[in-house]
Amino acid sequence: MSIRKMLLHARMEYLLWLTNPRISIFLVILVLIHSLVIQPLHEASEQIGYPFHLLEPIVALCNSTLILLILPIGFLILLADFPRMDHGFLLQLYRVGRLNWVLGELMYLCIAAITYLLGVIIGTMLCSLPYVPIVGSDWSIVATDYTAILKDDALKTVAMLLPGNLYHQMGPMDAVMGSCFLLFLYLTLMGTVLLATSLLRIKFLGIATNASLLLVGTGFVVLDSSWMWAFPSAHALIWVHFTPYFRVPVCPLWTSWLYFSMGAIIMIVLAILIAKERSFDSILEFD
């Protein structure tokens, strides 16, 4: 195992990913975030005459069941050719070694997921700045009192974007950090599923598995079914872990960290075992 070879391989794949024209879909994601998250918060702030917090759109997009469908799907589209196994694959495999190739792909996956989330966070903040949001350690009145002020005239979407399970349990910065970490683990898990299934030559099954877990899991969250904890969607939503008022969590956060970590580790171990045992003599199998 060579750290240098892993880093060089991850760097090469990452630069190819950044320069891929597919990265332009990120702009579409920002447009959706603006219309589905930032605009409703702005309308709510205008209704009651108080600005929203700069971090609240980020918390909302990481904890909305609808956005939870958009962000992972957008990442899967950007990662459509992961792992890259084209005509140059064999040469790269022989140059870095099988184990270094798998671990290099994992490093590239983690860096790509971090870049994607940072892009979403920075883009959301830039899109929010024209509405002059406030900053500070506490939630805004839009998050905490908007529904109580307007009652039946309140926009239902605002209550769905910022549920009481969040602002009664933690501050906005803690909510951002916790939500983004869970989402990072989710994106990494999806990528490792693609890595293992690609080496098994059943990548279509990996894509179908990720899509099915996402859709079914989100459905169980909407239905508030206890079955939701069997799927990654619930574990990626930090507000689902808490009740609206009591400090005792419904599901401890460490359980979700363990859920994602164990899933990713199993996929990585499977990928390493397959890469070590499988014959890659013929380039024709990748045509």
Residue range 9-34, pLDDT digits in tens: 888 889 988 888 888 888 888 888 88
Residues whose CB is less than 8 angstroms from the CB of residue 192 and which lie 6 or more positions away in sequence, other chains included: 106, 109, 263, 264, 267, 268, 271
DSSP three-state, residue 162: coil
Residues whose CB is less than 8 angstroms from the CB of residue 287 and which lie 6 or more positions away in sequence, other chains included: none
Q: CA–CA separation, 277 vs 262, rounded Å?
A: 23
User: Is there a domain that residue 286 lies in?
Assistant: no
Structural domain count of the chain: 1
User: Is there a domain that residue 233 lies in?
Assistant: yes
Q: What is the pTM of this model?
A: 0.89
Q: CA–CA separation, 60 vs 76, rounded Å?
A: 21
Residue 146 — very low, low, confident or very high, per pLDDT cuts 50/70/90?
confident
Continuous segment of H or E residues that includes residue 37 = none
User: Is there a domain that residue 287 lies in?
Assistant: no
Tokens 């799927």 correspond to: 231
Q: Is the pLDDT of residue 279 over 70?
A: no
User: Is there a domain that residue 285 lies in?
Assistant: no
Whether the CB-CB separation of 281 and 274 falls below 8 Å is answered with: no
Radius of gyration of the CA atoms of the chain, in A: 21
Whether the CB-CB separation of 114 and 191 falls below 8 Å is answered with: no
N-to-C CA span, the chain: 29
Domain that residue 195 falls in: 3-278
User: Is there a domain that residue 150 lies in?
Assistant: yes
Residue 109 — very low, low, confident or very high, per pLDDT cuts 50/70/90?
very high
User: Is there a domain that residue 157 lies in?
Assistant: yes
User: Is there a domain that residue 130 lies in?
Assistant: yes
Q: CA–CA separation, 277 vs 273, rounded Å?
A: 6
- Percentage of residues of the chain with pLDDT beyond 70: 94
Q: CA–CA separation, 287 vs 248, rounded Å?
A: 54
Residue range 206-220, pLDDT digits in tens: 888 888 888 898 888
User: Is there a domain that residue 224 lies in?
Assistant: yes
Angle between helices 98-128 and 172-199 (to 10 degrees): 140
Q: CA–CA separation, 281 vs 26, rounded Å?
A: 37
